[in-house]
């Protein structure tokens, strides 16, 4: 059974989803207009999720809240992202980026074993189904500039500022 529940956070309404007791997705308001109830219902019908708050989803929301308040630097959640083998290799590299640090797309490509795959790393970041818990916001351009983020650059900036302020 696939469940999703929406939580109000300091960065807006966030949907967290789980299947078989593992976190599978995080949804930002930018993923669809969560202000409109019909859009939420349409999303639920199309995605196959049931709107249900589970113990795991409540724990994930609690950990996310602690992180956003600067009280947590690591997550302790069972994650089950779905993607290609290369995407999973990239996401595994992202999890190793320390709290408060950033790495470039090139550094992640090298760590994933394909130094010329900077654009593919960018695509894997874009397709990361569990942002924040898998910290794709910690990946920046080679010069340190912020680049695209599914939740929007404003949220990416805020996440990085939270981390930098607590180091």
Residues that are catalytic? 136
CB atoms within 10 A of CB 1: 11
According to DSSP, residue 7 is labeled: E
Pull the structure tokens for residue 89. Answer: 């290799």
Query: What is the rounded distance in angstroms from the CA atom of residue 59 to the CA atom of residue 54?
Result: 9
Residue 136 dihedral angles phi and psi, to the nearest 5° = -70, -15
Task: Count H helices and E strands in the chain, helices first.
Answer: 6, 6
């Amino acid at each position: 059974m696939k469940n999703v529940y929406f939580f109000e956070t300091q960065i807006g309404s966030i949907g967290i989803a789980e299947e078989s007791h593992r976190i599978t997705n995080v949804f930002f308001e930018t993923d669809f207009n969560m202000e409109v109830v019909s859009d939420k219902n349409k999303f639920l019908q199309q995605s196959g999720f049931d709107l249900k708050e589970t113990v795991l989803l409540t724990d994930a929301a609690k950990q996310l809240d602690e992180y956003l308040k600067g009280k947590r630097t690591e997550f302790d959640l069972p994650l089950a992202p779905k993607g290609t083998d290369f995407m999973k290799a990239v996401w595994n590299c992202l999890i190793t980026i320390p709290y408060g640090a950033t790495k470039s797309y090139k550094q992640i490509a090298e760590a994933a074993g394909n130094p010329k795959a900077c654009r593919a790393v960018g695509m894997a970041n874009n397709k990361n189904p569990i942002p924040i818990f898998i910290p794709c916001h910690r990946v920046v351009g080679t010069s340190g500039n912020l680049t695209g983020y599914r939740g929007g650059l404003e949220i990416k900036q805020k996440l990085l500022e939270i981390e930098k302020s607590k180091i």
